[in-house]
Amino acid sequence: METIKSVDIYELGSPGEKSSPWSSTILIVKLTSSNGNVGYGEAPTTFMTLPVKESMREVERVFKDQNYFNIEKNMREFYKHSFYLSRSMEATSALSAFEIASWDLIGKDLGTPVYNLLGGEYNSELRAYANGWYSDCLEPDDFVSRAKEYIKKGYTAFKFDPFRNNFDRIGNDGIKKAVDIVSAMRSELGENIDLLIECHGRFSTKYAIKVGQALDEFNPLFIEEPIHPEMELGLFDFKRYVNTPVALGERLLNKEDFARYISQGMVDIVQADLTNSKGILEAKKISAIVESFGGLMAFHNAFGPVQTAATLNVDYTLTNFLIQESFEDSWPDWKRNLFSGYRIENGHFKLSGKPGLGITADEKLMEKLIYDGMEEFNKNEPSWVVSGTYK
């Protein structure tokens, strides 16, 4: 029986992250097995780096010395001890990292990619949409000219937040500015480019409806988190008055949460995040629930390369895959070079086909990037927006 012999937790980072300031630090767990294999997992940060880091130490107490093939058993054991797991993103994030690393070990032990253990390859290439690309973009021309640079790289879908510093409410002037940006993107880029509208859960219901109705004419692929997440009942009214499909899920923590949303018709496109909703196996379960209600999957993927690799292994197997978020072409070099193995070419992801998650760590670079502390704080701009856009 192979077990988890040692656990190493790395906080890595470098100041000045513009594409995703919420991820200027990343948390990586390295599990070394009794046979010498190594598995990697990742936990999200988003203004909770240190709490998640400490929670990873709690997960270590349950997982260390256990058989990492026993995914269900180990997850259930932590569930038994973690009283607030169903409501604690810190706990689910820490747990997800260990679950992902366990799969990496399993794949390496068996000499096969993780996706072969989840149903096999259904999608050989995965269409990506660009995010993080619009740092410092404020005016319509800024968005259009930057998007055209990414079209040259092969992207055919763009997510962006056109709402500047409006929060909770938005007036006619704010709506007009957003309309001008989306209108310019549609008219300049054409109907064959998909536009994905990011709201970051910033609006109360009344104002979200106004925004959604104003943008319907531009035929977005979806509108993401239009309403404050704790006001989810407002989604019923939103969907009654807005035609654009609703996407959400990065703040939901388990399959039971997703089952409630999809079964009640509150969401069309599910954006579960493997790194905070209990990992790879839970993602397969969530996808099956969503599929049974006719929904599509577009996993949230806004942190680091281990998250991307884990997410792609699930994407490969899904019959209800829609599109995959990518920050890769907006990342700083340090994050892009941490792991190798998957690639993005002509706007599509491709895995390496190597065992486990299919990635290899640059451990020397990891050692150079060790960081201790919280993400940078900017009192004038929340960490959840792309830099230079909240003005």
Q: Are 7 and 60 in contact (CB under 8 A)?
A: yes
For 119: left if phi > 0, alpha if psi spans -120 to 50, otherwise beta; the answer is left
Q: Report phi then psi at 329, rounded to 5.
A: -80, 0
Cα three-residue angle 336-44-346, rounded to 5 degrees: 35
Among all chains, which residue has been given the structure tokens 């269409």? 127
Query: What is the C-alpha separation between 2 and 8, in angstroms, rounded?
Result: 18
Query: What is the C-alpha separation between 72 and 64, in angstroms, rounded?
Result: 15
Query: What is the C-alpha separation between 287 and 25, in angstroms, rounded?
Result: 29
| Active site members | 200, 300
DSSP H or E stretch at residue 8:
strand 4-13
Cα three-residue angle 227-231-235, rounded to 5 degrees: 60
Query: What is the C-alpha separation between 387 and 20, in angstroms, rounded?
Result: 7
Among all chains, which residue has been given the structure tokens 């309309």? 179
Query: What is the C-alpha separation between 280 and 91, in angstroms, rounded?
Result: 16
Indicate the SS3 state at residue 32: strand
